[in-house]
Amino acid sequence: MSVAFAGNSTTGASREAGPLRVMIVDDSVVIRGLISRWVGAEHDMEVAASLRTGLEAVNQIERINPDVAVLDIEMPELDGISALPQLLAKKRDLVIIMASTLTRRNAEISFKALSLGAADYIPKPESTREASAADIFHHDLIQ
């Protein structure tokens, strides 16, 4: 996975000013914790917010002002597919990475996310106990 920021001068300018601000949106506290730890360990990234639902993300996007959102697909209150266009309507230059176990099993949902404006998608491991899958997820996410 690679997401280029060069084409968007607004995002590029904010990257120059400081670390990449990442908003993590996932109903699993374990996954939010893993992603937060990985993002926090990168010198050029910071966790801007860690939220449980798509509704929280939509309601707080302007206050948080992230550069990137890592967005789960299956969540309560407002799922990632429904939250995606609402987030982009409020922040057009937001780079959204979909992260879900559904991306591994259901290509149709992944393509729908991309057609709605997601920059990329990465499969989450089916189980956080599967060490090699977690390592692959970590690598793909940070890349």
* 69-102: pLDDT as tens digits: 999 998 999 999 999 999 999 999 999 999 877 6
Report which residue type is found at 106. N
Please tell me the distance from the alpha carbon of residue 46 to that of residue 38, in angstroms, as a whole number.
10
Sheet containing strand 95-100, edge to edge, reads: 45-51, 20-25, 68-71, 95-100, 120-123
C-alpha distance from residue 54 to each of 6, 24, 139 (Å)? 27, 10, 24
pLDDT of residue 72: 92
Best CA proximity match to 96, nearest among 128, 58, 125, 132: 58
Please tell me the distance from the alpha carbon of residue 71 to that of residue 88, in angstroms, as a whole number.
12
pLDDT of residue 126: 62
In the chain, the domains with their CATH numbers are: 19-142 (3.40.50.2300)
- The sign of the dihedral angle between the CA atoms of 14, 90, 57, 85 is negative
Report which residue type is found at 101. T
Segments in the chain below pLDDT 50: 1-15
